[in-house]
Amino acid sequence: MASTIQVDNIKDIGGNTIISSNGSGTFTSNLPASAPNVSTATGTLPIANGGTGATTLAAAGLTNTPNFKILLTSNQSISNGTETKISFNSTEFDTASGWNSSSYKYIIPSGQGGLWFISTNARMSGGGNNTMGAGDLNLYKNNDTVAHVGLTPNTSSAMGIFGAYIGGIFNVSAADEIYVKAYITAGGARVDGEARFTALQGFKLIGA
């Protein structure tokens, strides 16, 4: 035989109300929002039938924001022996408006310092004869290289195309400037301007 327990308040041994109900399916937690309590939840608790509250991770604030993705959509020439900043020119998304389209830098927004995952990818093609020397792709924070990948042609025949990727977790502060530079030793080259080939993207890590 089934049994039913009906209450409008659950109290601790000291008579303090822990959870109360309005009789219509909405429960309110009165637990303090500080350790060492079991829960830090306050206010109305979401329940499956008729409750209220955040029903998605995004609504609860559990999203990796700010986030951004900036693309290069037209070819950019790279001179031999000169490290050249990649002139990303198209914004796919930028939730905190950190991209500076004049300086080609992502500037960490105010109050958003911390650990970020940042990555860049690029495809570099050879010059007129479709050959090129060794090269580099460098991810910068302010005036320092924080990540680097070297591009070395085959010893028996020069390569016509390099594909490169850099990705990692970086500790940044508000107003830090993130940008990318490419370098080639000889042969003439370009950075290919197509969205799937060349991009700079990143997001702030939650709870880090």
Instruction: For residue 130, give every residue at least 6 positions away whose Cβ sits within 8 Å of its Cβ, in sequence order, or none.
Output: 160
Torsion, Cα of 39, 45, 48, 50 (10° steps): 170
Question: Looking at the domain 67-204, which fold is it?
Answer: Jelly Rolls (2.60.120)
Residue listed under structure tokens 């940008």: 179
Q: Which residues of 22-50 are buried (b: 16+ CB within 10 A; e: fewer)?
A: eeeebeebbeeeeeeeeeeeeeeeeeeee
Q: Which 3 state secondary structure label does DSSP give 20?
A: strand
Percent of the chain with pLDDT over 70: 75
Q: In one letter, which amino acid is 178?
A: I
pTM of the model: 0.69
Structure tokens at 201: 């993207």
Question: How far separated are the first and last CA of the chain, in Å rounded?
Answer: 50
pLDDT tens digits along 190-207: 888 876 789 999 999 987
Q: Where are the domains of the chain?
A: 1-54, 67-204
Please give the pLDDT value at position 45: 47
Q: What parts of the chain have a pLDDT lower than 50?
A: 35, 37-41, 45, 47, 155-156
